[in-house]
Amino acid sequence: MRIAFYAPLKAPDHPVASGDRTMARSFVQALSHAGHEVALASRLRTFDATGDPTRQVRLRHLGQKIAARFVVRARAGTAPDLWFTYHVHHKAPDHLGPLVSRMLGIPYVVAEASVAPRRRTGPWSEGYADALAAIRAADTVIAVNPHDVAEVRKARDAGAPCELLAPFLDVDAFAGAQASAARATDPGEARLVTVAMMREGAKLASYRVLATALATLRDRPWKLSIVGDGPARASVEESFAPLAARVRFVGARQREEIAGLLAASDLFVWPAVDEAFGMAFLEAQACGLPVVGANTPGVASVVNADSTGLLCPMGDAPAFAAAMGTLIADTALRERMGRAAVRHVRERHDLPAGAARLDAMLRAVVARRAGATPAAPRARRHAPSRAPR
């Protein structure tokens, strides 16, 4: 199929790295892996961080204009067979997909949508209404975070499809780093690593929980590498100042460098306050690392608790410290969990499995529209084309 791909929060080729961009790229990769022709439909970013109703209305009107132009070009050339939008919520609604899909008569699919009823009124009410309209218009909604499913289903008509897709990544891209990297040279000292952007809100809260937890483990043998950067870096550094001698700030890195840093470490640690699921947990496990994270539905969906890592109540610094302390002290347990982590990610979250499941979902959507049996997939791969601005 020819698929028009759109990510209103952050396009897959956006210059600033983030988990959202990583997941958008993963979906493009999976669609291409399944043999679909994927073209980036637009780079319009509808994100409104501050809750400005005027901006939300302005973005809606701009989106409608871009959608109309897209339809004109599609009718004059080759129209897509399906529109695919990644990540819709009140801060980044989709103003293009519903309109384009309706005008061209093609299926509209949303992957990862969230509904926050408390935003029905207030500064994001316009964005909330637009996001809700898009979620209701979708032929199907594909959820990657189990936490979102209940509210999305409430928002849609009874029986409207909403399916769960396990998050996925290209395990081979990380397993290669694991094979070539050397673990800690000092068997008595655990090398901890975390990978996350540095910004206000949940990310900064997670860093502070981590710093608080590590402060109680000064008597244990560990060092921490922090991979990431952002506008809250000064606040993050301040949180870790009492532990400065044992903490190394690596800064932002490309995926290949991150894979090497993970593979050379012993334990991935991240409190994951208010996070969906965290691609970094999958990346760390693919590199053979056990993990310590928050026991939330999203994180628990990618970490096999007590087998590939330890999960704690979200925001509970003492519990997080205890979990880290257990794995810092037990090298054999870390190694056993690390081996289990690679198996777990390869069996449940590898790209080929995710691509096949995603392809089946899309073909079912097309079949429902046509009242036919889904066609067999084509074994071809295509790279995404350039997008109109």
pLDDT tens digits along 7-21: 999 999 999 878 788
In this structure, is residue 377 part of a structural domain? no
Residue of 76, 135, 136 lying closest to 111 (CA atoms): 135
Q: Of 14-28, 83-97, 375-389, which gets the smallest average pLDDT? A: 375-389
- Mean confidence (pLDDT) of the chain: 91
List, in sequence order, every beta strand (DSSP E) within 170-274: 190-195, 222-227, 247-251, 267-269
Q: Domain count of the chain?
A: 2
Q: Is there a single domain that holds both residue 76 and residue 96?
A: yes
What is the extent of the structural domain holding 140?
2-168+350-370
The single residue listed with the structure tokens 């929980």 is 209
Q: Is there a single domain that holds both residue 155 and residue 209?
A: no
Q: Is there a single domain that holds both residue 192 and residue 327?
A: yes
86: enclosing H helix or E strand: strand 82-88
**Would you state the pLDDT for residue 176?**
67
Q: Is there a single domain that holds both residue 75 and residue 159?
A: yes
> CATH number, domain at 280?
3.40.50.2000
Q: Is 235 exposed, middle or buried (0-12, 13-18, 19+ CB in 10 A)?
A: middle
CA–centroid distance for 28 within its chain: 13
What's the full length of the chain, in residues?
389
| Tokens coding 251 | 């800064």
In this structure, is residue 384 part of a structural domain? no
CA–centroid distance for 41 within its chain: 20
In this structure, is residue 389 part of a structural domain? no
Q: Is there a single domain that holds both residue 25 and residue 158?
A: yes
Q: Is there a single domain that holds both residue 263 and residue 139?
A: no
In this structure, is residue 97 part of a structural domain? yes
Share of the chain above pLDDT 90, in %: 83
In this structure, is residue 264 part of a structural domain? yes
In this structure, is residue 386 part of a structural domain? no
Cα-based angle 14, 207, 203 (whole degrees, multiple of 5): 35
Residue of 227, 221, 225 lying closest to 190 (CA atoms): 221
In this structure, is residue 112 part of a structural domain? yes
**Would you state the pLDDT for residue 386?**
42
Asked whether 138 and 115 are in contact (CB, 8 A), the reply is no
In this structure, is residue 383 part of a structural domain? no
pLDDT tens digits along 332-383: 999 999 999 999 999 999 999 999 999 999 999 999 988 854 445 444 434 4
Q: Sign of the CA dihedral 9, 14, 17, 19?
A: positive
Give the type of residue at 70: F
Q: Is there a single domain that holds both residue 212 and residue 123?
A: no
| Tokens coding 315 | 């925001």
Q: Is there a single domain that holds both residue 130 and residue 182?
A: no
| Tokens coding 8 | 């209103």
Q: Is there a single domain that holds both residue 151 and residue 222?
A: no
Residue of 10, 8, 7, 12 lying closest to 384 (CA atoms): 12
**Would you state the pLDDT for residue 183?**
52
pLDDT (average), residues 137-156:
94
pLDDT (average), residues 168-177:
82
Q: Of 8-12, 167-171, 295-299, 377-381, which gets the smallest average pLDDT? A: 377-381
Asked whether 206 and 196 are in contact (CB, 8 A), the reply is yes
pLDDT tens digits along 222-267: 999 999 999 999 999 999 999 999 999 999 998 889 999 999 999 9
**Would you state the pLDDT for residue 143?**
94
pTM, to two decimals = 0.83
**Would you state the pLDDT for residue 71?**
98
Euclidean distance between CA atoms 213 and 341, whole angstroms: 24
**Would you state the pLDDT for residue 382?**
40
Euclidean distance between CA atoms 27 and 111, whole angstroms: 9
**Would you state the pLDDT for residue 320?**
98
Contacts of 362 (CB under 8 A, 6+ apart): 1, 3, 36, 82, 84, 107, 109
**Would you state the pLDDT for residue 276?**
77
Q: Is there a single domain that holds both residue 143 and residue 18?
A: yes
Q: Is there a single domain that holds both residue 115 and residue 160?
A: yes
**Would you state the pLDDT for residue 185?**
45
Q: Is there a single domain that holds both residue 35 and residue 143?
A: yes
